A and B are shown apart, each in its own frame.
Chain A
Amino acid sequence: MTTTKEYESYYVPDSSHWPIVGAVALFLIAVGAGNYVANLDTGEGIGGWVLLAGIALIIYMVVGWFSNVINESMAGKYSAQMDNSFRQGMSWFIFSEVMFFAAFFGALLYARMFSVPWLGGAGNNLETFQVLWPEFLAAWPLTTTPDGTTTEAMPWTGLPLYNTILLMTSSITAHFAHVALENNKRGALKLWLGFTILLGLAFLVLQVEEYIHAYSAMGLTLASGIYGNTFFMLTGFHGMHVTLGTIMLIVMFFRVLKGHFTPEHHFAFQAASWYWHFVDVVWVLLFLFVYIL
């Protein structure tokens, strides 16, 4: 337990207009996306534009809100206790992200272990199998669905393997950058952080390459049955998280160039690096369950 002294300076900010801006932004995103998706088949409506306006507004909100926080931090208003609040908040946020991915991993494992075998007559489902789709062959990866959609399975060698190496290396370089920051070696910090960003960008480029290959050459799409569903939802959401993580790292890079962060006081850097390790761990699980097994 800390002493009373440390509690004195807990910073409670005055009112702020950023949250309500963010609320309006989320509203625009939800309405725009809802309208866009509901009119996908006709292409009518202004949903897409509303969605873009919402995204622009939320970027404006994030920039404004975070610069407030950065200014307060640079002005020395944050005590160690405040720093702790940020750290705990970030770790629980990452935990909630883990649970989001868990839902999709759950779907993948359920489909592999139950749905597909049961459709093939396993357990007490022989009759269902014979009546519904007697031609169906239960296998994983599911390249032919019960209703006859066919696709190819993505091999783990080639691009996915390169991507695994890239991302795992980037986790190590991110760690080196963190160590450099803690030892106050700014040159090494910039170098390792720059490397990490480049590795992240390379990962994203290869991921796009892989998607193009899947859609054009393999006939593997989001709609090719449960294999394509789980493949694209898991790798797609992971890719979005890598994109977000890379943006965070780029922001950190510019803050480092501006001379922000000290060996003792660098929550934002720490958070970005935690986030980066998190997307890396998710990728390792993806590589194992989506590609290899």
Chain B
Amino acid sequence: MTTATDTMDHHDDHHDHKMTGIKRWLYTTNHKDIGTLYLWFSFIMLLTGGAMAMVIRAELFQPGLQIIEPDFFNQMTTVHGLIMVFGAIMPAFTGLANWMLPMMIGAPDMALPRLNNWSFWILPFAFGILLSSLFMEGGGPNFGWTFYAPLSTTYSNGSTAFFVFAVHIMGISSIMGAINIVVTIMNLRAPGMTYMKMPLFVWTFFITAYLLIAVMPVLAGTVTMVLTDTYFGTSFFNAAGGGDPVMFQHIFWFFGHPEVYIMILPAFGIVSTIIPTFARKKLFGYSSMVYATSSIAFLSFIVWAHHMFTTGMPLAGELFFMYCTMLIAVPTGVKVFNWVATMWKGSMTFETPMLFSIAFVILFTIGGFSGLMLAMTPVDFQYHDTYFVVAHFHYVLVTGSLFSIYAAAYYWLPKWTGNMYDEKLGKFHFWCSLISVNLLFFPMHFLGLAGMPRRIPDYALQFADFNKWVSIGGFAFGLSQLIFLVLVIKCIKGGKKASANPWDASEGLEWTVASPAPYHTFSTPPEIK
């Protein structure tokens, strides 16, 4: 795709103004430092949200109420969702974007470095507020991460204001981060790198950033209306004042559906980078990938009401949203086809990043198929709010987004640390995760089809066996992630030295600089032919 002609030599002609100690991290304007901060933060959040999932699975291990109160169970499902979406997956992608985008397009840094620092450092504060609300009188948010009215308005507990302001800060962080990504890509590409020469990873982040700028403000508007409905006597979501609780769902999902693509499009970019490397072939159908990503992004704006088929929408609305949703299968199918075609007759090797990528292709496709089932209005009437939905979105978010983030981390760890990670340990992490994640989420399909509702701390006896296995899978998956923590620490501390391009066939400007990447890269941009 892209070839660098004058590559080395000018990346460290800038001398470093690196500060030392904590000040380096607090004051930094360096995209690599900020990327590292994002990635560590998201991993800490993954473990925090994961611990909450463990609490949920412990309670659901057997029928009956044994460990926690139902209200606390609701707080756990809510905060688990919020942390995983806004604290783990999104910051991890932003971290990858920060580390890799400037190196991939031959830019000296992100376009607005100080803003970049601000985007990151407001996040820990936001999650501090959200988590501290768990310890407040009356407890933290307990209305689900989707905070449907009137649960979040009329029936909410005292901490809703803190939830609202925490979400505002997360939104500001995402919008500023996204503006930085868009501007960097539009304005800082090396000379000669036209749009259609950009790596697909760059393309997917570009499109994702647009989605973020378009919908995060809508989320801000939604939480603001929840705030005024709860505390200032407005009735946006209250029929007695002329509003409508269903209106909440429309506005929320207008944000919420593009949001789920915000969490999967970057994964497409990652997998499209890794599979060609380990199949030792060029990506099949580069331009069709670009167009497919763009069409998915466009369609994401006109399908939101498929989350609300059971709210009694007019028939024309149900049909429109059903057909538009099914249409998404077309560009997504193009992508899956292209990944498989890239591997076809390639000389493949199966290092950990490739294993995670192949698992992504297969398991994300399972999540896609269950999504197609949910897209059909009449069928959704049965599946709505059951464990089938839980199974569906965990297949796309865990074995989709999270697996792609792991794949990316393994792929670029040598570039970040200068050391090769422990391949055996990486494979061990992969197989443990793969087996346990399927034990965790696959039986949920059957539970949902049999009618087990989501977000309940207790269930009917006939669901007991499956739930036991699901919980065991959950604990195993949770523990497996600690292997990754050990692996990363080992890799930072030492290991086989990585060359500038440790993978045989990897392409892209990031592999033309040394490993570990110097503090400043491409202070003078390379020429792309």
**Neighbouring A residues of B214 by C-beta, 8 Å:** 95-96, 99
Please judge, given known A-B contacts A19-B121, A85-B112, whether A145 and B161 are in contact too, CB under 8 Å: no
B183 adjacent to A85 (CB under 8 Å): yes
| Bound CA–CA A197/B187 (angstroms) | 33
B29 adjacent to A115 (CB under 8 Å): no
B424 at the interface (CB under 8 A from A): no
B222 adjacent to A103 (CB under 8 Å): yes
Minimal beta-carbon separation of A281 from chain B (angstroms): 16
B340 at the interface (CB under 8 A from A): no
B235 adjacent to A226 (CB under 8 Å): yes
Q: Which residue of B lies closest to A27 (CB)?
A: B125
B169 at the interface (CB under 8 A from A): yes
A202 at the interface (CB under 8 A from B): no
Per-position 1/0 for B96-119, Cβ under 8 A of A: 000000000001110111110110
Most buried by A among B29, B190, B227, B527: B29
| Bound CA–CA A10/B189 (angstroms) | 12
Minimal beta-carbon separation of B201 from chain A (angstroms): 21
**Neighbouring B residues of A85 by C-beta, 8 Å:** 111-112, 183, 187-188
Give the contacting residue for B235; candidates A29, A37, A89, A145; CB below 8 A: A145
B240 adjacent to A92 (CB under 8 Å): no
Which of B19-27, B284-292, B328-336 makes up part of the contact surface? B19-27
| Bound CA–CA A123/B317 (angstroms) | 13
| Bound CA–CA A26/B124 (angstroms) | 11
**Neighbouring B residues of A17 by C-beta, 8 Å:** 26-27
A71 at the interface (CB under 8 A from B): no
A284 at the interface (CB under 8 A from B): no
B225 at the interface (CB under 8 A from A): yes
Please judge, given known A-B contacts A2-B191, A19-B114, A99-B217, whether A37 and B525 are in contact too, CB under 8 Å: no
Most buried by A among B114, B186, B242: B242
**Neighbouring A residues of B525 by C-beta, 8 Å:** 4, 7
Which residues of A, 13-50, contact B by the 8 Å Cβ criterion? 13-20, 22-24, 26-27, 29-31, 33-35, 37-38, 40
Please judge, given known A-B contacts A33-B165, A81-B187, whether A89 and B250 are in contact too, CB under 8 Å: no
B118 adjacent to A229 (CB under 8 Å): no
Please judge, given known A-B contacts A132-B239, A229-B228, A229-B243, whether A30 and B218 are in contact too, CB under 8 Å: no
| Bound CA–CA A18/B305 (angstroms) | 42
A115 adjacent to B222 (CB under 8 Å): no
| Bound CA–CA A147/B172 (angstroms) | 37
Please judge, given known A-B contacts A14-B17, A15-B29, whether A146 and B168 are in contact too, CB under 8 Å: no
Please judge, given known A-B contacts A92-B183, A111-B243, whether A26 and B191 are in contact too, CB under 8 Å: no
| Bound CA–CA A33/B220 (angstroms) | 15
| Bound CA–CA A3/B190 (angstroms) | 9
Q: Which residue of A lies closest to B247 (CB)?
A: A110
B129 adjacent to A96 (CB under 8 Å): no
A15 adjacent to B27 (CB under 8 Å): yes
Which residues of B, 489-529, contact A by the 8 Å Cβ criterion? 520, 523-525, 527
A278 at the interface (CB under 8 A from B): no
A264 at the interface (CB under 8 A from B): no
B183 adjacent to A89 (CB under 8 Å): yes
Per-position 1/0 for A95-117, Cβ under 8 A of B: 11111101110110011001110
| Bound CA–CA A100/B217 (angstroms) | 5
Most buried by A among B117, B243, B520: B243
B28 at the interface (CB under 8 A from A): yes
B129 adjacent to A223 (CB under 8 Å): no
Please judge, given known A-B contacts A30-B125, A222-B233, whether A15 and B169 are in contact too, CB under 8 Å: no
Which residues of A, 151-191, contact B by the 8 Å Cβ criterion? none
| Bound CA–CA A98/B216 (angstroms) | 11
A145 adjacent to B241 (CB under 8 Å): yes
| Bound CA–CA A116/B191 (angstroms) | 56
**Neighbouring B residues of A102 by C-beta, 8 Å:** 217-218, 221
Per-position 1/0 for A206-236, Cβ under 8 A of B: 0000000000000000110111110001000
**Neighbouring A residues of B243 by C-beta, 8 Å:** 111, 115, 226, 229
Which residues of B, 263-284, contact A by the 8 Å Cβ criterion? none
Most buried by B among A12, A106, A233: A12
Give the contacting residue for B242; candidates A16, A30, A226; CB below 8 A: A226
A7 adjacent to B183 (CB under 8 Å): no
A38 adjacent to B113 (CB under 8 Å): no
B118 adjacent to A92 (CB under 8 Å): no
User: A-B pairs with the 9 shortest C-beta distances?
Assistant: A103-B221, A223-B233, A226-B242, A15-B27, A19-B118, A30-B165, A100-B217, A115-B244, A27-B125
A-B contact sample (12 more), CB < 8 A, given A17-B26, A27-B122, A103-B220: A12-B108, A17-B27, A19-B117, A27-B129, A31-B129, A92-B183, A103-B251, A107-B221, A111-B236, A222-B233, A222-B234, A229-B243
User: Can you list 8 A-B pairs with a CB-CB distance of less than 8 A?
Assistant: A4-B524, A7-B525, A10-B108, A15-B30, A20-B121, A115-B242, A132-B239, A223-B233
Q: Hey, which bits of chain B sit against chain A, CB under 8 A?
A: 17, 19, 23-24, 26-30, 107-109, 111-115, 117-118, 121-122, 125-126, 128-129, 158-162, 164-166, 168-169, 172, 175, 178-180, 182-183, 186-188, 190-192, 194, 213-218, 220-222, 224-225, 227-228, 231-236, 239-244, 247, 250-251, 254, 314, 520, 523-525, 527
